[in-house]
């Protein structure tokens, strides 16, 4: 499949590392003028430099803004007035017993994992509708439908994204704009490596730690390994393409078969 995003501008929130960075790389590789985003200017500049080094012909820029705040989202929109492809990738996670999660922590997860994407979508979606073309994606998780006991607050925030995405897709029905959610399964990122160590201990070599984690905490996985970020990015690049014009309002799974369901 030849995916060509030349002439499109893409913004990927939370894209200085992990899944977001892989998505930014994939979109840039397909020809989109891609904007990398993170809170810290140093982190953004480093990510942009690394991506440009690997993709010397790509157009890659960066915006340092905390889009989990209203002011940060406004700053991002001011820096990039028009976007054709928006990937709401920003997210946080950490294990914590549900009865020890206080109100402030619940609010923080909602602000970062849900409202950040809502704010950016609200800002850029009308322009997409006016132009008759656009792609919005929310990066959710298998935890949206298989709530993990060790981080209920994270799972709830990702469940909310399914409704947010479906609702926005209905709001722009017939406009040429699509809105979808990507359900990412357990993925090999820097943050997940730390999480795995917290769950299984520091003493094991990484390959053994990953195997124990998948067997003990993610036994439903059919691929029996962590997913690589580029595997998530491949789905996002497809959803950003012309070829995905009839896919909207969906929850697309890149979960390694983790969710035990034959219906998406």
CATH classification for the domain delimited by 9-185+228-247, as one of 3.90.180.10, 3.40.50.410, 3.40.50.11440, 3.40.50.720: 3.40.50.720
pLDDT given at position 1: 84
- Of the candidates 4, 37, 19, 59, the one whose C-alpha atom is nearest the C-alpha of residue 255 is 19
- Stretches where the chain sits below pLDDT 50 are none
Listed in sequence order, the DSSP H helices in the chain are 18-29, 41-54, 70-79, 103-110, 116-131, 152-171, 190-200, 206-217, 229-239
Q: What is the pTM of this model?
A: 0.94
The Cα 82–Cα 68 span in angstroms is 19
pLDDT given at position 161: 98
129-168 pLDDT, tens digit each:
999 999 999 999 999 999 999 999 999 999 999 999 999 9
26-41 pLDDT, tens digit each:
999 999 999 999 999 9
**Catalytic residue list:** 154
In contact, 47 and 13? CB cutoff 8 Å: no
pLDDT given at position 264: 67
The domain spans of the chain are: 9-185+228-247
């Amino acid at each position: 499949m030849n995916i060509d995003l030349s002439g499109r501008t893409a913004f990927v929130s939370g894209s200085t590392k992990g899944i977001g960075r892989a998505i930014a790389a994939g979109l840039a590789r397909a020809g989109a003028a891609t904007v990398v985003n993170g809170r810290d200017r140093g982190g953004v500049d480093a990510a942009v430099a690394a991506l440009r080094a690997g993709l010397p012909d790509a157009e890659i820029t960066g915006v340092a803004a905390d889009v989990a705040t209203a002011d940060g989202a406004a700053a991002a929109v001011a820096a990039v007035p028009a976007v054709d492809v928006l990937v709401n990738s920003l997210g946080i996670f950490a294990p914590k017993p549900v009865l020890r999660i206080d109100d402030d922590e619940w609010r923080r997860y909602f602000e970062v994992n849900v409202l950040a994407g809502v704010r950016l979508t609200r800002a850029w979606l009308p322009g997409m509708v006016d132009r008759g073309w656009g792609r919005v994606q929310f990066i959710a998780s298998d935890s949206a439908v298989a709530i993990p006991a060790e981080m209920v607050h994270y799972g709830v925030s990702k469940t909310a994204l399914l409704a947010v995405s479906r609702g926005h897709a209905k709001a722009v029905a017939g406009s040429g704009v699509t809105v979808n959610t990507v359900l990412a399964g357990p993925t090999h990122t820097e943050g997940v490596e730390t999480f795995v160590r917290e769950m299984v201990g520091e003493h094991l070599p990484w390959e053994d730690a990953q195997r124990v984690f998948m067997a003990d905490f993610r036994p439903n996985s059919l691929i029996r390994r962590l997913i690589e970020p580029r595997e998530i990015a491949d789905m996002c690049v497809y959803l950003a393409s012309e070829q995905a014009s009839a896919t909207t309002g969906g929850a697309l799974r890149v979960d390694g078969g983790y969710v035990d369901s034959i219906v998406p």
